[in-house]
Amino acid sequence: MEPTTTAPRTVLWLSAHPESRSLNGVLRRAGSAHLRAQGHQVLDSDLYAMGWDPVLRPADGGHGPAAEDRFRVSDDTRAAHREGRQPGDVAAEQEKLLAADALVVQFPLWWYGLPAILKGWFDRVLVSGFAFGTDPASGQRLRFEQGPFAGKCALAALTLGDRPAAIGPRGKSGELTEMLFGLLHGTFAYTGMSVLPPWALPSADRIEDARESMAGLNRRLDGLFTEAPIPYRPQFTGQYTPSWELADHVRPGETGLSIHISDAPQGAR
Amino acid sequence: MEPTTTAPRTVLWLSAHPESRSLNGVLRRAGSAHLRAQGHQVLDSDLYAMGWDPVLRPADGGHGPAAEDRFRVSDDTRAAHREGRQPGDVAAEQEKLLAADALVVQFPLWWYGLPAILKGWFDRVLVSGFAFGTDPASGQRLRFEQGPFAGKCALAALTLGDRPAAIGPRGKSGELTEMLFGLLHGTFAYTGMSVLPPWALPSADRIEDARESMAGLNRRLDGLFTEAPIPYRPQFTGQYTPSWELADHVRPGETGLSIHISDAPQGAR
């Protein structure tokens, strides 16, 4: 057992693989056990095992099966959340996320993105008024550093078939954090979470012995509450214009996703 | 009616919105009608209306409900495809895609990605041996310029809540083609398709009158078979190393997703 380096916390472990005997299944069980052995509480959302329905439907907005009213996705899901009329599976996942100090999102990379069952967790659970929005009292925009999940941290842990160089800085598949920008920046950071550099296991189809992979993931889990996050720029401190563009004085003339990461040296949290 | 500028072709229109009365629904019907009025055949995959199941399961690999064998996603779905043991819904979509000269993928952007029901179309339909793989006779890798869908073109058409500047070159949400890199490059281009610059409708929640939006999309549809694609670099002509990295002599020292786009001026196809 590793020495406990942080006070016990609660971790939501979100995973999505159709085969529990897969490498992903092995890593899930080993990683959860490793966290528990350190005293942390692990909430488990194994989406395939749960039979999670990833499809956002009118019922998510409180509409009946023969709704005559037009379903307005953002407005209606926000109202259903506010008024306690959401489907039970969505409300249960929201409770888990609220209880968690950290979110681990573990998946096989399919078509350079999340498996559908996992994408639909975000589509359905992170509704307006819960995961982002506007504070009704102050009018403050609740996202990025003002997001409702400030104080939580998030780690993406993924397997992929490509070899390591393909996701490196000049890799054909796109550098990993840029390829995952929609998840890391557009979802985790958007809702206020601190975003740890993702953990990726390339050439996953060729791995015969999972022990080294397990050890690699466990080392990252040891740093879940201490590792420095990706220093994405805050939105409301003058680095962006009100129309959501990087201000002229910040990396003037430059483009590309890396401009949204601060130049300042990273420090431990 | 616009003048017909190209010979009639077949277009697969793939769409994903839970409300047919939405702006997305209006655009889908108008765009399809516009193509048909020019003589094109439009195959319709309206995923919500079809009740499409986006979850890749062991049955996709030919496993029964009580499979004792471990489900190996890539190997088993490839074998099921080769041996005609795939679920009927998957085979039907593959037939449509094979018949199509162009693919239009239309969706609301949710969490900076595809709605789950649409992501699961790619997860389930584009199996190994169908959408990519290795030629059994020659050993040639079938992807990018050697991909099986060479000769087809693809257009992503999306609505989003962000305002226009947020998806511009310095936008907080990430420049649009970079935010969509996994779809445009990692999926469309990977399978051999020519990738048109995406069509996006920002601030979509604030649009009261759809006519201007419809006209904008229809103009892009007019260029579906003539517009210059994004000039992503080919994989097998010496610009990449065998380990899938950009070769040292190509944009030496540079990083970021834009390095995968050719510097050569674009020409019409």
The tens digit of pLDDT for each residue in B218-245 reads: 999 999 999 999 999 999 999 999 999 9
pLDDT score recorded for residue A209 = 86
Query: In 3-state terms, what secondary structure has residue B253?
Result: coil
Q: Do B116 and A112 touch (CB under 8 A)?
A: no
Which amino acid, residue B26?
A: V
> Is B166 at the interface with chain A, CB within 8 A?
yes
Q: Which helix (H) or strand (E) holds B11?
A: strand B10-15
The tens digit of pLDDT for each residue in A108-136 reads: 999 999 999 999 999 999 999 999 999 98
Phi, psi angles (nearest 5°) of residue B219: -60, -40
Most A CBs within 10 A among B233, B244, B248, B258, hence the mutation to make, goes to B244
pLDDT score recorded for residue B265 = 53
pLDDT score recorded for residue A186 = 98
Which of A135-144, B4-13, B80-89 has the least mean pLDDT?
B4-13
Closest CA to B118 of B25, B13, B12, B15: B15
> Is B78 at the interface with chain A, CB within 8 A?
no
Non-local CB neighbours of A19 within 8 Å, separated by 6+ positions: A25, B58, B70, B71, B72, B73
Most A CBs within 10 A among B26, B55, B162, hence the mutation to make, goes to B55
pLDDT score recorded for residue A269 = 40
> Is A41 at the interface with chain B, CB within 8 A?
no
Residue B189 C-alpha from the chain's centroid: 8
Closest approach of B205 to chain A, Cα-based (Å): 9
pLDDT band at B269 (very low <50, low <70, confident <90, very high): very low
Question: What pTM, to 2 d.p., does this model score?
Answer: 0.96
> Is B58 at the interface with chain A, CB within 8 A?
yes
Contact list, A163 vs chain B (CB under 8 Å): 243-244
Architecture of domain A10-229: 3-Layer(aba) Sandwich (3.40)
Per-residue three-class SS string for B65-108: CCCCCCCCHHHHHHHHHHCCCCCHHHHHHHHHHHHCCEEEEEEE
pLDDT score recorded for residue B209 = 86
Query: In 3-state terms, what secondary structure has residue B247?
Result: coil
Most A CBs within 10 A among B17, B89, B162, B172, hence the mutation to make, goes to B172
Q: Do A71 and B22 touch (CB under 8 A)?
A: yes
| Mean pLDDT, residues A168-183 taken together | 98
The tens digit of pLDDT for each residue in A60-98 reads: 999 987 767 899 999 999 999 999 999 999 999 999 999
| Mean pLDDT, residues B141-151 taken together | 97
Q: Which of B54, B70, B169 sits opposite A116 (nearest CB)?
A: B54
Q: Do B22 and A108 touch (CB under 8 A)?
A: no
The tens digit of pLDDT for each residue in A243-258 reads: 999 999 999 999 999 9
Closest approach of A38 to chain B, Cα-based (Å): 31
| Mean pLDDT, residues B145-170 taken together | 97
pLDDT score recorded for residue A265 = 53
Q: What is the mean pLDDT of chain B?
A: 94
Which amino acid, residue B180?
A: L
Q: What is the DSSP string of chain A?
A: -PPP-S---EEEEEE--S-TTSHHHHHHHHHHHHHHHTT-EEEEEEHHHHT------GGGGT--TT--S---HHHHHHHHHHTT-S-HHHHHHHHHHHH-SEEEEEEE-BTTB--HHHHHHHHHHS-BTTTBEE-TTT--EESGGGSTTTT-EEEEEEE-SS-GGGGSTTBTT--HHHHTHHHIIIIIITTT-EEPPPEEE-SGGG----HHHHHHHHHHHHTTTTSPPP-BPPSSSSSB-TTSBB-TTSSTT--SGGGGB-SSPP---
pLDDT score recorded for residue A267 = 45
Residue positions counted in chain A: 269
pLDDT score recorded for residue B6 = 67
pLDDT at position B49 over 80 = yes
pLDDT score recorded for residue B66 = 72
Task: Tell me: ipTM over 0.90.
Answer: yes
Q: Which of B74, B119, B246 sits opposite A113 (nearest CB)?
A: B119
The upper half-sphere exposure of residue B164, i.e. CA atoms within 13 Å in the direction of its Cβ, equals 2
Contact list, A234 vs chain B (CB under 8 Å): none
Q: Do B111 and A119 touch (CB under 8 A)?
A: yes
pLDDT score recorded for residue B73 = 97
Q: What is the CATH number of domain B10-228?
A: 3.40.50.360
pLDDT at position A34 over 50 = yes
Closest CA to B186 of B104, B123, B239: B123
